[in-house]
A and B are shown apart, each in its own frame.
Chain A
Amino acid sequence: MNDIPLTHILFVSTALFFIGMYGLFTRRNMITMLMSVELILNSVNINFVAFNKYLFPEKLDGVFFSIFIVTIAAAEAAVAIAIIINLYRSHNSIDVEDAGEMKY
């Protein structure tokens, strides 16, 4: 593990974050946007664990933060999918452009 510098792991997580960002910008389907959000949360998790292992190996705080992030991501995905299914029932579509009246 120690023959890879920390910056290479940070490169991977930054690239993954911006891949998720690209998905969030271009997609207009709610489920695919949710998938992009999951990618972003995962990149943050990689960061927490990598910093914990490389810079503060005597502590466990990064591990705890990633456990909490995974828990909250699970709750968020469940609520988001409940909202998506409800929206599909009332609008027959889960495209964000079709739910424009929620803006006002």
Chain B
Amino acid sequence: MTASQIIFYLLSAFILGSGMLAVTSRKIFRSAIWLLFSLIGIAGLYFWLQVEFIAAIQIVVYVGGIVVLIIFSIFLTQKSGSEMPKPPKWRREFAILAVIFGFGFVWQLISHHEFKETSTTALDVNMANIGTQLLSTTEHGYILPFEVVSILLLAAMIGCIVIAMKKTEAV
């Protein structure tokens, strides 16, 4: 086993273990912290895959943004020390069965499919390449989705403010 393989298996065990704890922990704040660890592990996996840009985005947006937002909303809406009620037994059993069957089915498909690796020259995934192609207007450019996503972010921002705004007394 090489060092790279050992790192991959350690990272995967870390991601799956903390992900598992994030969905089963009964204290909501702990569950958010486990989610944070799982997302950091995924960022490590991106570093391992040598896509440093996505890893940086993962840390900045998920770990620094979304999880902090989730923790804020936990503090605003929950008594974070108390335990959440246990899910009823039938629901847990149904969920475990559904998940195991789903996983088995998908794993069956994946393990019997032959992935053909195209052996052309690998493109270096660096900032310059990503920026040039993301903003290019040629055939394989992504400028249109980029603009659409920027409009979406603006709409989401205004929507959040409108939804969460306190209603003023009869104008």
Q: Which residues of A contact B (CB under 8 A)?
A: 1, 3-4, 6-8, 10-12, 14-23, 25-29, 31-32, 34-36, 38-39, 42, 45-46, 49-50, 52-61, 63-64, 66-68, 70-79, 81-86, 88, 94
User: Secondary structure at chain B's binding surface: helix, strand, loop or mixed?
Assistant: helix
Number of interface residues of B (CB under 8 A): 82
Judge whether B164 and A1 touch: CB under 8 Å. Answer: no
CB pair A72 B152 closer than 8 Å: yes
Interface residues of B in 108-140 (CB under 8 A from A): 110-111, 115-118, 120-123, 125, 129-130, 133-134, 140
Q: Are B66 and A74 in contact, with the CB atoms below 8 A?
A: yes
The total of Cβ contacts below 8 Å across the A-B interface reads 221
Q: List 4 tightest A-B contacts by C-beta distance, closest first.
A: A23-B23, A25-B95, A75-B156, A57-B122
A and B contact pairs by CB, cutoff 8 A, 5 listed = A16-B16, A29-B84, A38-B66, A60-B125, A60-B130
Complex Cα–Cα for A63 and B57 (A): 11
* Interface SS, A side: helix
**Which of chain A's residues have a CB closer than 8 A to the CB of B16?**
12, 15-16, 19
Tell me whether A22 and B39 are in contact in the complex, defined as CB-CB below 8 angstroms, given that A12-B15, A60-B130, A78-B156 are known contacts.
no
Decide yes or no: A42 and B62 within 8 Å by CB, A25-B94, A85-B164 being known contacts: yes
- What is the distance, in angstroms, from B99's C-beta to the closest C-beta of chain A? 5
A84–B19 contact, CB under 8 A? no
Partner of B28, one of A25, A31, A82: A31
Q: Are A54 and B129 in contact (CB under 8 A)?
A: no
Contact present for A22 and B76 (CB under 8 Å): no
| A48 and B32 alpha carbons, distance in the complex (Å) | 25
Q: Are A68 and B145 in contact (CB under 8 A)?
A: yes
Cβ–Cβ contact A85 & B73, under 8 A: yes
A67, B129: Cβ atoms closer than 8 Å: no
Chain B residues within 8 Å of A81, by CB: 69-70, 72-73, 160
Chain B 130-160: CB-based contact to A (< 8 A → 1; otherwise 0):
1001100000101001000100110011011
B168 contacts A by Cβ under 8 Å: no
- Also in contact, A70 and B58, with CB within 8 A (given A11-B107, A81-B70, A83-B163): yes
Query: What distance in Å separates the Cβ of A84 from its nearest Cβ neighbour in chain B?
Result: 6
**Seed contacts A19-B19, A81-B69; 18 additional CB < 8 Å A-B pairs:** A12-B16, A14-B107, A21-B102, A31-B73, A35-B31, A42-B38, A49-B49, A53-B125, A61-B140, A64-B145, A70-B61, A76-B156, A79-B159, A82-B163, A82-B164, A84-B73, A85-B73, A86-B163
Give CA–CA (A84, B28) in the complex, Å: 15
Residues of A within 8 A of B42 (CB): 42, 45-46
